[in-house]
């Protein structure tokens, strides 16, 4: 008598099938990751478009763009008053954040945790996440006093360097950006008519890489020195940022950022480059509301010309 033969797979056949599946997964995974990044990049672009709409709506009501930053009117401390008096707060009503905007107490600094308006202190507001200011491609890191780093900053204009080795002190040129930095308790705001180079040829808002390590203040746009970017270097430049009198370069640290910055106490002079987690460049909102992707390899003179609101440069193709 013959026993019935049982069907099955040999060990070699199983190993071959597993190998084929592994190869298919390896081939598919990059495509999936690219699709996810494309979706994140699309969301980031939409964030910039919404910021542009908010800026223009604010301009329609106030007849000028919001100030990039000012020292504020907080009564307890002149330095603490620097936090919160920044462009992002003024456009909150146009980003579905009216409650946060109305809760801010103009007469108090952010560190006053006792006095509440509508149930919130100023410090509570600073710790509240505004999703529309976060690029989904970047990581999240609450770098300073549990305040979140964001991913967008306004155009503060071109800068020049004393020499090519970046050993000197940068300074903003007379033809600055589309937003005014500082300016005391009142500040200066620009109208779209002041952008005589043309709104389609002038940068408005670009990306920041949020701080990657503790006490890294990049993206901390609630704090006055960090509200915007300058075009002293190009997008995602390997050259470091100028922080309070020091060039912060790649040699200073081993993280994914050019260097790890310290907490912002006493820092009043900051020039940050535009950076992103998107491969190849940064997404930038123009003053006319369009969003453009600028390559890391863009000519530095073109990039600087695009940042001036009244430089009179002939930009050409970009």
State the pLDDT at residue 175.
46
| Residue 258 token pair | 């050019």
Model confidence band, residue 298 (pLDDT cutoffs 50, 70, 90): very high
Q: For the chain, what is the domain count?
A: 1
Token representation of residue 264: 């912002």
Strands (E), 67-183: 142-144, 147-148, 152-155, 157-160, 171-176
* pLDDT of residue 255 exceeding 60: no
Q: Is residue 172 part of a domain?
A: yes
pLDDT for position 135: 94
| Domain residue limits at 102 | 40-307
- Average pLDDT of the chain? 78
pLDDT band at 200 (very low <50, low <70, confident <90, very high): very high
Burial class (CB within 10 angstroms; exposed 0-12, middle 13-18, buried 19+) of 152: buried
137-175 per-position pLDDT tens digit: 987 776 677 788 899 999 988 865 544 455 555 555 544
What's the rounded mean pLDDT across residues 81-100? 85
How many angstroms separate the CA atoms of 25 and 10, rounded? 23
Instruction: Tell me what the mean pLDDT of segment 60-67 comes to.
Output: 90
Specify if 86 maps to a domain.
yes
Q: Is 30 left (phi over 0), alpha (psi -120 to 50) or beta?
A: alpha
Cβ distance 257 to 250 under 8 Å?
A: no
Residue 186 lies in a domain: yes
Instruction: Give the other-Cβ count within 10 Å of 304's Cβ.
Output: 22
- Quick one: pLDDT at residue 96? 92
Residue 91 maps to a domain: yes
Neighbour count for residue 213 (Cβ, 10 Å):
15
Residue 317 domain flag: no
Nearest to 234 by CA among 306, 179, 167, 178: 306
Length of the chain: 318
Does residue 192 carry a pLDDT above 80?
A: yes
Q: Is 13 domain-assigned? A: no
The 10s digit of each residue's pLDDT in 176-191 is 888 876 644 455 678 8
Mapped onto helix, strand or coil, the DSSP state of residue 37 is helix
Q: Which of 80-84, 237-241, 304-308 has the highest mean pLDDT?
A: 304-308
């Amino acid at each position: 008598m013959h026993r019935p033969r049982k069907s099955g797979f040999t060990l070699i056949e199983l190993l071959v099938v597993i190998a084929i599946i592994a190869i298919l997964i390896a081939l598919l995974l990059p495509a999936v990751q690219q699709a996810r990044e494309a979706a994140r990049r699309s969301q980031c672009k939409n964030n910039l478009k919404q910021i542009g709409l908010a800026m223009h709506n604010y301009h329609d009501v106030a007849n000028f763009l919001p100030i990039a930053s000012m020292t504020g009117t907080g009564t307890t401390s002149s330095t603490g008053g620097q936090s919160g008096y920044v462009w992002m707060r003024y456009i909150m009503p146009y980003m579905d954040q009216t409650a946060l905007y109305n809760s801010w107490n103009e007469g108090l600094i952010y560190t006053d945790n006792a006095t509440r308006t509508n149930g919130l202190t100023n410090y509570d507001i600073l710790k509240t996440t505004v999703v529309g200011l976060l690029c989904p491609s970047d990581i999240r890191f609450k770098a300073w006093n549990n305040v979140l780093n964001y991913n967008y900053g306004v155009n503060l204009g071109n800068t020049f360097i004393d020499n090519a080795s970046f050993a000197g002190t940068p300074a903003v040129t007379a033809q600055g950006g589309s937003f005014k930095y500082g300016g005391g308790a009142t500040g200066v705001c620009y109208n779209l008519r002041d952008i005589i180079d043309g709104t389609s040829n002038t940068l408005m808002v670009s990306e920041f890489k949020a701080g990657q390590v503790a006490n890294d203040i990049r993206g901390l746009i609630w704090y006055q020195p960090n509200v915007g970017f300058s075009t002293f270097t190009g997008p995602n430049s390997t050259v470091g940022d100028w922080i309070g009198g020091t060039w912060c370069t790649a040699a200073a640290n081993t993280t994914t950022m050019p260097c790890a910055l310290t907490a912002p106490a006493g820092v009043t002079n900051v020039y940050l480059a535009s950076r992103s987690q998107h491969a190849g460049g940064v997404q930038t909102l123009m003053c006319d509301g369009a969003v453009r992707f600028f390559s890391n390899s863009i000519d530095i003179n073109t990039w600087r010309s695009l940042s001036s609101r009244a430089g009179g440069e002939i930009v050409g193709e970009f």
